[in-house]
Amino acid sequence: MAEDQQDKTTPLHDEHVALGASLTGFGGWQMPLRYTSDLAEHRAVREAAGLFDLSHMGEIHLEGPQSGAALDAALVGNASAIGVGRARYSMICAEDGAVLDDLIVYRLEDEHFLVVANAGNAPRVAAELVARASGFDTVVTDRSDETALVAVQGPRAEEIVASLTAAEDVDAVRTMKYYASAPATVAGIPVLVARTGYTGEDGFELFVPAGRAVELWRALLAAGEGHGLVPAGLSARDSLRLEAGMPLYGHELDETTTPYEAGLGRVVKLDKTGDDGEPLPFVGRAALAARAQSAPARVLVGLRGEGRRPARAGYDVVRRGLDGTVGAVVGRVTSGAPSPTLGHPVAMAYVTPEVSAEGTELAVDVRGRAEPFVVVRMPFYKRA
């Protein structure tokens, strides 16, 4: 209990308590795990809409003429190539190529970028960006404490958000592309609206001044009431992102992993160049260049369960014995759960390359019993 008392709370904490949410510690924060049931909240997002509090995430701004160049040197991606009003998934790595965090980078103006970091990693990411941006004409500011973030996700999300958006901004919201953003007035509140999310559905994330988060949350709940919107917790968010094949830091990504093992080598831009046309050095480049040319020791794969018992994080992946016994260990599950949408267990796991091909029949050691799984392509679920 003492540990829980040390966790930070978001500006929406009292709203969650009033709604009867079950709370849990996550990344140093007290967050809603669920409000009613995991299944109901998951299905609401797939069929209508869910409202999430993401205010535990970190918001770090870079402003100045060399902000793009600073991010090019600090991150594995090519931030300076992002267009104004667009966003890109990226990572910050250590010198040895290990992933310190996965991020979304928004270009708000020509000389203004927003980096969104995972909750538990945000202070470290902010400190790393300050250090790595030294020598560049940019100012790094951590605005996490003054910023709240809420997300509306699901097929009815556009309808709900647009219903609260000022007339002059409605078209920008409705026509906004995936991984784009724009300032707008929603429920009378100036916010940054982004068409991004972590559920595999269409949706929006709204960055709002912390002092007006409650006002926005209540307005969205009221506007969504007739559209099937429900508040949704971390449990639903986890099962939704798992079905969508999206990695979670601390599970699929950590400091023992490079982007290549995770199947995310595409975010590493080894060919980015500076203004002089020469290859641009960035933190981790040498290690990642070497890793790109070497055979992996393990590969992240998707697993579809053929039975009903789910795999869970930390369970061993084994060769499937003819008699149902547990065979040799060939990997480890990083995330796993029953899929509410698909009706069977799904999991992500790191396995050795020789058993990573699609269609390979494997098993997961579930409390001493070899439960059958097969390697499949991710994502497990993809919206129409």
Same domain, 52 and 159: yes
pLDDT given for residue 2 in this prediction:
40
Same domain, 19 and 160: yes
Using alpha carbons only, what angle is made at residue 187 by residues 182 and 188, rounded to the nearest 5 degrees?
Answer: 85
CATH number for the domain harbouring residue 341: 2.40.30.110
Is the pLDDT at 94 greater than 90? The verdict is yes
Q: Is residue 277 very low, low, confident or very high in pLDDT (cuts 50, 70, 90)?
A: confident
pLDDT given for residue 3 in this prediction:
43
Tell me the C-alpha to C-alpha distance, in Å, between residue 11 and each of 16, 34, 77, 91, 213. 10, 17, 32, 27, 7
pLDDT in tens, 352-379: 999 999 999 999 999 999 999 999 999 9
Same domain, 14 and 129: no
Is the pLDDT at 48 greater than 80? The verdict is yes
pLDDT given for residue 279 in this prediction:
86
Cα gap 303→356, rounded to integer Å: 10
Looking at the chain, the whole-number percentage of residues with pLDDT higher than 70 is 99
CATH number for the domain harbouring residue 119: 3.30.70.1400
Is the pLDDT at 154 greater than 70? The verdict is yes
Same domain, 359 and 330: yes
Sheet holding 181-186, edge to edge: 181-186, 189-194, 203-209, 147-153, 49-53, 229-231
Residue 341: half-sphere exposure toward Cβ, Cα within 13 Å:
24
Considering the domain boundaries, does residue 67 fall inside one?
A: yes
State the average pLDDT over residues 319-336: 89
Q: For residues 122 and 104, is the Cβ–Cβ distance under 8 A?
A: no
pLDDT given for residue 1 in this prediction:
36
* Burial class of residue 250, CB neighbours in 10 A (0-12, 13-18, 19+): middle
Considering the domain boundaries, does residue 37 fall inside one?
A: yes
Q: Is residue 322 very low, low, confident or very high in pLDDT (cuts 50, 70, 90)?
A: confident
Cα gap 219→9, rounded to integer Å: 21
pLDDT given for residue 93 in this prediction:
98
Q: For residues 140 and 60, is the Cβ–Cβ distance under 8 A?
A: yes
Considering the domain boundaries, does residue 154 fall inside one?
A: yes
- List all residues 6 or more positions away from 353 whose beta carbon is below 8 Å from its beta carbon: 295, 296, 297, 298, 299
pLDDT given for residue 326 in this prediction:
81
**pTM for this structure?**
0.96
* Owning domain of residue 355: 299-376
Considering the domain boundaries, does residue 94 fall inside one?
A: yes
- In three-state secondary structure terms, 74 is helix
